[in-house]
Amino acid sequence: DFPPGDEAYHTYAETTDALKKAVADHGDLAQLSSAGKSFEGRELNVLKIASKASEGKPEVLFTCNQHAREHLTTEMCLHIVQRFTDGYASDNAIKDMVDSHQIYVVPNMNPDGSEYDISGGKYQGWRKTRKPVPDSTEIGTDPNRNWGYKWGCCGGSSDDPSAEDYHGPSAFSEPETKAVSDFMAAHRFKAHIDFHTFSELVLWPYGYTKDDTAEGMSAEEAKRFADVGRQMADTNKYTPEQSSDLYVTDGDVNDWAWSKSKTLSYTFEMYPKDGGIDGFYPPASEIPEQTTRNDAAVDILVKQAG
Ligand code: 0X9
Ligand code: ZN
C-alpha cells in the first residue's frame, strides 16, 4: 500500500474499483475491458468512454504508469475518466468531445511494477516490469525501450539486464507491451498521450534520432507534432521539445505508435519540474492541481483527432 499520508493515490485494486464505479455510474458512457494480462496475471484495464453518438468517430488513447514508480500518471488517467464521464451530463464542452470521439484510457500499463513499488508500505524506487530476465538473475525490463520500432537500434537503451533502461531480450518481450501494442494495432488511434513523470515536458517523436525528419516523418508531419505540442505546452506551462532533444531513446511507445499507425503520439512528463528520486513521489496533496493542470492540453489532443 501507499505510505502513510499518500493514501489518496490509487493502488491497482483501487484503480480497478474506480473504473468499475465509472461503469456502474455511467453504463451508457463507460465500458471496461482488458488488453490482456501482466506477467503476474493482472488485467491491463481499458476504459472506453463513448456515447451512442460516438459510434464510428475518431479514436483517442491515453496511457499511464508505463513506469512503475510514476504513480501520479495513474491519477491523471483516472482524472480523465472522471472528467469525461461525470462531466458529460453537466458540461456541454465535455459532451461535445465525447459525442464526437471514442476515448480509451489505460491507467496501469505496468501494474506488477507499480504494486511492487509500494510493497511493504514504502517506496521502492522501481521503474521496470517484474518479469525475470531469461538467463540472468535480474528482474525487469524498461517497457518504454521494449516497443518494436527501431528496437535497440541506436544507443538509446541498454542490453545490460541490470540497467534501468534495459530494452529486454527482444522487442515486445514483455507481456504488457505485447498486449497493449496488440490492442493499439486493433484500433485506429488518431491521437495519444503516454503520461510519465517527471520534468514538466511535452515530447514528440522521433526519439531514436535527433533528426527532425526521418523515414516515415516528413517535414510537414514534424511541424504538426511541434505545433500541436507547443499549443498544449502553452496551456500547462510544460516545456515542448522533440523527445530526442532530451535524450535519445529507441523502442519507446511514441516512435512505435507513429510509425505503425501515424498516431499523433506524445509523451507528457508531469510534475515536478526537477528533483531526485523524490521527484517520483510528490505528496498526494498535489494530485488535484497537477492532474487538472492538463485538462486544456487533453482537450486540444482530443480535438486534434478530428
Ligand atoms: O525515458 C523515458 O522513457 C521517459 N522519461 S522517464 O523519466 N519517465 O523515464 C521519456 C521518454 C521520451 N522519449 C525520449 N526522450 N526520447
Ligand atoms: Zn517514465
Q: Tens of pLDDT along 134-159?
A: 999 999 999 999 999 999 999 999 99
Half-sphere exposure in the Cβ direction for 124 (13 Å, CA): 17
Ligand 2 centre and the CA of 70: distance in Å? 6
CA of 195 from ligand 2 middle (Å) equals: 7
User: Does the predicted TM-score (pTM) go above 0.80?
Assistant: yes
Residue nearest to atom 4 of ligand 1 (CA): 196
Residue pLDDT, tens place only, 13-59 = 999 999 999 999 999 999 999 999 999 999 999 999 999 999 999 99
Q: What is the ipTM of this complex?
A: 0.97
Please report which ligand is nearest the Cα atom of 114.
2
The pLDDT tens digits for 187-224 are: 999 999 999 999 999 999 999 999 999 999 999 999 99
pLDDT at 196: 99
Cα-to-centroid distance, 1 and ligand 2 (Å): 21
Set of cell numbers at residue 71: 504513480
- Residues with active-site annotation: 269
Q: Check if 152 has its Cβ closer than 6 Å to any atom of ligand 1.
A: no
Alpha-carbon torsion 208, 305, 236, 282, what sign?
Answer: negative
Quote the pLDDT of residue 68.
99
What does the alpha-carbon distance between residue 272 and residue 55 come to, in Å, rounded to a whole number?
38
Q: Name the pairing type of β-strands 189-197 and 264-270.
A: parallel
Q: Which atom of ligand 1 is nearest to the CA of 207?
A: 16
Ligand found nearest the CA of 253? 1
Burial class for 137, CB neighbours closer than 10 Å (0-12, 13-18, 19+): exposed
- Distance between CA 17 and CA 79 in Å, rounded? 14
Kindly report the length of the chain: 306
